[in-house]
Amino acid sequence: MLFSLEHTKIQVGNTQIKCTLYIQCILGLTNGQSVEIIPKERIVKKFINDTYFVSCTLSDDSTSPVWINPKGQKIDGSTQSRIGVDTSNGADLFINQIASQDDGLYTCLEPKGNRASFHLSVIRPIVFDTSLAEQTAVEGQTYTMKCSAQGHSQPRIFWKVDQRKPPEPKYKIMRDGLMIHNVSKHDAYRHYLCRALDIISPIPDTKVMNITLTVVENVDRETTTEAIETGDSSSVRNVISWILFIFTVGFDLSLLQ
């Protein structure tokens, strides 16, 4: 095999290799072999809980490469692990249910030191506070519907009512939610949708959550007084039931003190 030096390049047959020193090129060609990873992306972006698979091959099949994790440790060859290497066909690295701690540089290394690497960038997807999927408002009052989400960065929140922009003045979009004026029973039959959008994330992300609204009657003092004055028997019975309930709860609480 003939070598010719031209500035900082070494010619090997039809292949030209750049290097800083002639001796480095000679050592690289005589002592090592090429390492290739497929897919060839050097920066891989994945959401938490995603799966990633990458294959590593050498120009010479007589030796086997190893995979090194971001902590500089050799990755186990067990296929039962969440992160492992399948050596049945070269060295295939798999990462299942990707977690935030998996972020970092992964390197395929051949016995004489040549390597190929990729950086795994782990992204937190948008997650809603699902406890807000069902909310309760009082008839006749003003209620602010809540929606909370977390992502790789803080997502922006958008609202829709019955698949369109919330109409004013019945609805008003606030910083802390969707304000509903003069809540009525009809509001319980509307379709409320909260959309979270994270455009700052390395992979722009968006998700939606449907919210169910339950509307309950407003039982206040005015209703109680009016029922007694008009002699509405059913309303009076309801008032008496409330009084008995309050008395019973108060009595039980006094026993606990």
pLDDT band at 184 (very low <50, low <70, confident <90, very high): very high
Q: What is the pLDDT of residues 112-129, one digit of tens each?
A: 888 999 999 999 999 999
16 pLDDT above the threshold of 90: no
C-alpha 173/C-alpha 36 separation (Å) is: 53
Q: What's the one-letter identity of residue 129?
A: D
Of 161, 153, 172, nearest in space to 194 by CA: 161
225 pLDDT above the threshold of 70: no
The fraction of the chain above a pLDDT of 90, given in percent, is: 59
The confidence score (pLDDT) of residue 2 equals 37
Residue 77 phi, psi dihedral angles, 5° rounding:
-85, 0
Residue 34 phi, psi dihedral angles, 5° rounding:
-75, 145
Is residue 11 within 8 Å of residue 88, measured between CB atoms? no
Assign 121 to helix, strand or coil: strand
Assign 78 to helix, strand or coil: coil
55 pLDDT above the threshold of 80: yes
CA dihedral for 13, 17, 20, 26, sign (positive or negative): negative
Of 65, 217, 67, 208, nearest in space to 141 by CA: 217
Tokens encoding 87: 């050596």
Is residue 129 within 8 Å of residue 209, measured between CB atoms? no
pLDDT band at 219 (very low <50, low <70, confident <90, very high): confident
Q: What is the pLDDT of residues 25-41, one digit of tens each?
A: 333 333 557 899 999 99
* CB-count exposure of residue 196 (10 Å: 0-12, 13-18, 19+): buried
The confidence score (pLDDT) of residue 200 equals 92
pLDDT band at 110 (very low <50, low <70, confident <90, very high): confident
Say whether the peptide bond before residue 65 is cis (omega within 30 degrees of 0). Answer: no
C-alpha 125/C-alpha 149 separation (Å) is: 10
